[in-house]
């Protein structure tokens, strides 16, 4: 009886030793990927801030750093898909995709595809949806500057993004919660369209008033002459 127990204990020790070894390697990979993901998110956010300042050089440099960090995180967890798809790598890729698509849309460059960015489809689509919020900020800046043509361009792009997202009808487990992102995108789009409509009417009213005042002034000058 004692010998059998010793045999089982020995087998359990071997199992535990192997499990410890695998868990240690997985934990080390996770600890390597976590800070890389955080840095990717930070660089992506700073790239968006830079493009809002119209500093394209800084934005692109930060975007390149975000790409390196996001890819590094994914590579560190390549052997551990359960952790790779647990959430934080998705968040890093999403933020990187958002920054990349914002920069492309604002500067008029071709929209990068998921495979070109090296991110998962779900991360890309959620990042693209969140880019609509940044486009709204650009639109409001253009609105304050009176650039209605740029406002219309940005609104059209926002509408195009939403039109695509609403066609991606799959479970959240596949899309990474895209349905919620799409709902938020719709709200931003509707609010922005309303703001722009009000501003356009105000702009038209001011134009007509200016024309009317000019006509009155011209009529006064004619009668005085």
What average pLDDT is seen over the chain?
90
Return the pLDDT at 203: 66
What's the CA gap between 157 and 110, in Å, rounded? 12
Residue 5 above 60 pLDDT? Answer: no
- Residue 2: pLDDT over 70: no
Q: What are 94's two structure tokens?
A: 């999403």
Would the pLDDT of 1 be above 50? Answer: no
Helix/strand/coil for 204: helix
pLDDT digits (tens, 9 = 90+) for 155-177: 999 999 999 999 999 999 899 99
Average pLDDT on 193-214 reads: 73
Question: What is the mean pLDDT of the segment spanning 179-195?
Answer: 95
CB 168 within 8 A of CB 135: no
Return d(Cα 156, Cα 151) in angstroms, integer: 9
pLDDT digits (tens, 9 = 90+) for 18-36: 999 999 999 999 999 999 9
Q: What is the pLDDT of residue 198?
A: 83
Tell me how far the alpha carbon of residue 144 is from its chain's centroid. 24
- Residue 94 confidence (pLDDT): 97
Query: How distant, in Å, are the alpha carbons of 34, 38, 145, 176 from that of 27?
Result: 11, 17, 52, 24
What is the pLDDT, as a whole number, of residue 197?
Answer: 87
Mean pLDDT value of segment 102-107: 96
**Residue 76 pLDDT greater than 70, yes or no:** yes
Helices (runs of H) and strands (runs of E) counted in the chain: 9, 0
Quote the pLDDT of residue 16.
94
**What's the mean pLDDT in 71-94?**
93
pLDDT of 48 over the 90 cut: yes
Q: How many C-beta atoms surround the C-beta of residue 63 within 10 A?
A: 23
Greatest mean pLDDT among 78-82, 101-105, 201-205, 213-217: 101-105
Note whether 182 and 129 are within 8 A (CB).
Answer: yes
- Band the pLDDT of 182: cuts 50, 70, 90: very high
Domains of the chain: 1-106 (1.20.58), 120-225 (1.20.58.2140)
Cβ atoms of 36 and 69 closer than 8 Å: yes
Confidence of residue 207 (pLDDT cuts 50, 70, 90): low
Structure confidence at residue 151 as a pLDDT band (50, 70, 90): very high
């Amino acid at each position: 009886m004692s010998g059998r127990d010793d045999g089982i204990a020995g087998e359990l020790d071997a199992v535990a030793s192997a499990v410890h070894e695998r868990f240690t390697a997985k934990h080390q990979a996770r600890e390597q990927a976590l800070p890389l993901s955080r840095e990717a998110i930070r660089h992506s956010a700073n790239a968006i801030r830079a493009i809002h300042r119209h500093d394209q050089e800084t934005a692109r440099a930060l975007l390149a750093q975000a790409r390196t960090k996001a890819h590094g995180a994914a590579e560190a967890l390549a052997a551990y898909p359960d952790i790779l798809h647990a959430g934080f790598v998705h968040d890093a890729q999403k933020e990187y995709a958002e920054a990349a698509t914002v920069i492309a849309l604002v500067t008029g460059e071709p929209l990068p595809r998921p495979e070109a960015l090296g991110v998962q489809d779900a991360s890309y689509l959620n990042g693209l949806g969140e880019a609509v919020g940044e486009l709204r900020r650009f639109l409001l800046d253009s609105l304050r500057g009176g650039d209605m043509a740029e406002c219309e361009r940005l609104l059209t792009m926002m509408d195009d993004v939403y039109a695509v997202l609403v066609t991606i009808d799959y479970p959240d487990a596949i899309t990474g919660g895209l349905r919620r992102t799409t709902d938020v995108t719709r709200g931003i789009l509707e609010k922005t369209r309303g703001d722009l409509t009000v501003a356009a009417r105000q702009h038209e009213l001011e134009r007509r008033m200016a024309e009317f005042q000019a006509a009155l002034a011209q009529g006064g000058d004619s009668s005085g002459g």
